[in-house]
Structure 1
């Protein structure tokens, strides 16, 4: 995480090497290229390798998986996918929001439930997820294949926090996402956009006071080492999306398109099993590794103090997205009501 400059150099070399190849040949090659945003063994990496496993067991194609930093950060791999250099990409709405503002809906606090069973049912059955979002992604040349949850969001900070007042003047790292910034402004903090590669160092040097991520990512990235106070605010789940370059996908035969869809479905079922209990395991590893860690779980009264600030974030979402955002939000709420 402190090797960002070295990663950037490697990224440049890798991108030049890939770009030198024929995009047309890449799109229809026996080896398909798939990049994601996480490290070895993290949720997106497990999903990618389950997708790879299904494709390779059921076709003559191979899938080459690139992890975080091997081809750049989130904006780099999205650009490469849209250019046809990569066939598949896994990117969270936190970054896709610059392309698709409606994708930021996942950052409206307290919109999503936090119990896993309800969350999974929502992703399986939601019209917003399975019908509305594919149309929005298609407008950007992307074939949305699957959206899936990774885990409940957890805040880490330089001290325990139980109220919006205690967030006052805290510099909290956010993804380069306007609505996430609006969320932390509503919470009373100072949102500070930073690319992932700079987060550990910024926490270590007190350039920022905290950040948010699923607990497995806090453990995997070692963030608890430099930001040891964990706060479970119950404000949402981290969501990600797996997609293909649409020209590539449309150029496949019907049989191969179905292969890709089936592989995405297979990986989804596998990842749901994988994340069951993952948060508890990660938290146990963290508390075992460091005696400086504190764990704060807000009670209902404390959560309500944060929840009552969420309407202003909804209003900001509608300002950013207009009628399409309002329709999506209405459908989102209807889908959630149906599963709850």
Structure 2
């Protein structure tokens, strides 16, 4: 059989280009998608990550903020399939994929102290040793996790106890444990993709939702709600991942560069967030002086904390021995972080 030399040479050239894109000595274009806008916390982290990669190599990192490649489920599928090399996604959206990741939504597990949280995510055995194995099973290389701030509830009516949430259709991420949390709090949890939240609040399809303070301002959620309530029940966590086949196929130099970029971007984003919640809350109250902001006292939080015990038990039911081990390790890691 005669072989067409032009086709053969074209095939060989394509193979060489593909292999070159993997090696550390050749420039490549890497795609990175995240769940927020460019000037929000995930976007700031991504820009620092890109800066470090491009300053120390010939690679280019293309950034895709929320909406440019679809919803959260879309960018996760693209990361797993290798269309994207990097993705930043909250465990709130990966909870169905990796059930143990729902541990970050056990109420009152994480503290509100940002310095303690920064130490926890950086040094935690659960985060840095146990979770990478679970993410790897889903074709993902876990690079880092970082906090984005205390979660606040925004509603159309005041919330001073669990009783005030009764009958409230409360938007949650598509996360089974978060659904159970708001059931335990007395609300009617309503899972919705982020793109539908503002309009659903505006038309009263839902009457509440939760997010970190900076996000309440940047997305103008304060325009369609009247009350912001801090119950101290959670802190928003996000995770930065690489496609595992992509990462494993890189040379040692590029792998080390990605780890360097992850570390430097982590330190940058922790520092960037100092005072961010206070400054963004002031912007909200300046823009809408009639907005009522409430920090629940210990007595008001009592019913939420009682519900948290049931949610923790539900987490163990969902995840079994694996979830119990991660929960126990996280508690030990948090104690170590508290002690400094």
Q: For residue 330 of structure 1, what is the aligned residue in structure 2? A: 328
Cα separation, 2, equivalents of 1:248 and 1:124: 24
Equivalent residues in 2 for 1:64-79, closer than 5 Å: 64-79=62-77
- Please tell me whether the aligned partners of residues 40 and 67 of structure 1 are also in contact (alpha carbons under 8 angstroms): yes
Instruction: State the 1:118 CA deviation.
Output: 1.2
Instruction: State the 1:292 CA deviation.
Output: 2.7
- Please tell me whether the aligned partners of residues 224 and 286 of structure 1 are also in contact (alpha carbons under 8 angstroms): yes
Aligned partner of residue 145 in structure 1, secondary structure? strand
Equivalent residues in 2 for 1:1-340, closer than 5 Å: 28=22, 30-340=28-338
Instruction: State the 1:98 CA deviation.
Output: 1.4
- Please tell me whether the aligned partners of residues 114 and 237 of structure 1 are also in contact (alpha carbons under 8 angstroms): yes
Aligned partner of residue 296 in structure 1, secondary structure? strand
Deviates most, 39-48 or 296-305: 296-305
Aligned partner of residue 283 in structure 1, secondary structure? helix
CA-to-aligned-CA distance 1:81-106 (integer Å, 9 cap, x gap): 11100000000000011110000101
Give TM-score, length-normalised by structure 1.
0.92
Aligned partner of residue 153 in structure 1, secondary structure? strand
CA-to-aligned-CA distance 1:30-78 (integer Å, 9 cap, x gap): 1100000001200000000000000000000000000000001110000
Cα separation, 2, equivalents of 1:188 and 1:257: 46
Instruction: State the 1:306 CA deviation.
Output: 1.0
Cα separation, 1, equivalents of 2:78 and 2:177: 25
Instruction: State the 1:339 CA deviation.
Output: 2.0
Cα separation, 2, equivalents of 1:117 and 1:51: 21
Q: Which runs of 5+ in 2 are unaligned?
A: 1-14
Instruction: State the 1:308 CA deviation.
Output: 1.3
Q: 1:287 to 1:25 in 2, by over 3 A?
A: farther
- Please tell me whether the aligned partners of residues 27 and 85 of structure 1 are also in contact (alpha carbons under 8 angstroms): no
Q: In angstroms, what is the RMSD of aligned CA positions?
A: 1.6
Give TM-score, length-normalised by structure 2.
0.92
In terms of Rg, which structure is larger? Answer: 2
Aligned partner of residue 308 in structure 1, secondary structure? helix
Q: Give the number of aligned pairs.
A: 320
Instruction: State the 1:291 CA deviation.
Output: 2.2
Q: 1:86 to 1:330 in 2, by over 3 A?
A: same
Aligned partner of residue 161 in structure 1, secondary structure? coil
Aligned partner of residue 172 in structure 1, secondary structure? strand
Cα separation, 1, equivalents of 2:210 and 2:155: 9
Instruction: State the 1:228 CA deviation.
Output: 2.2
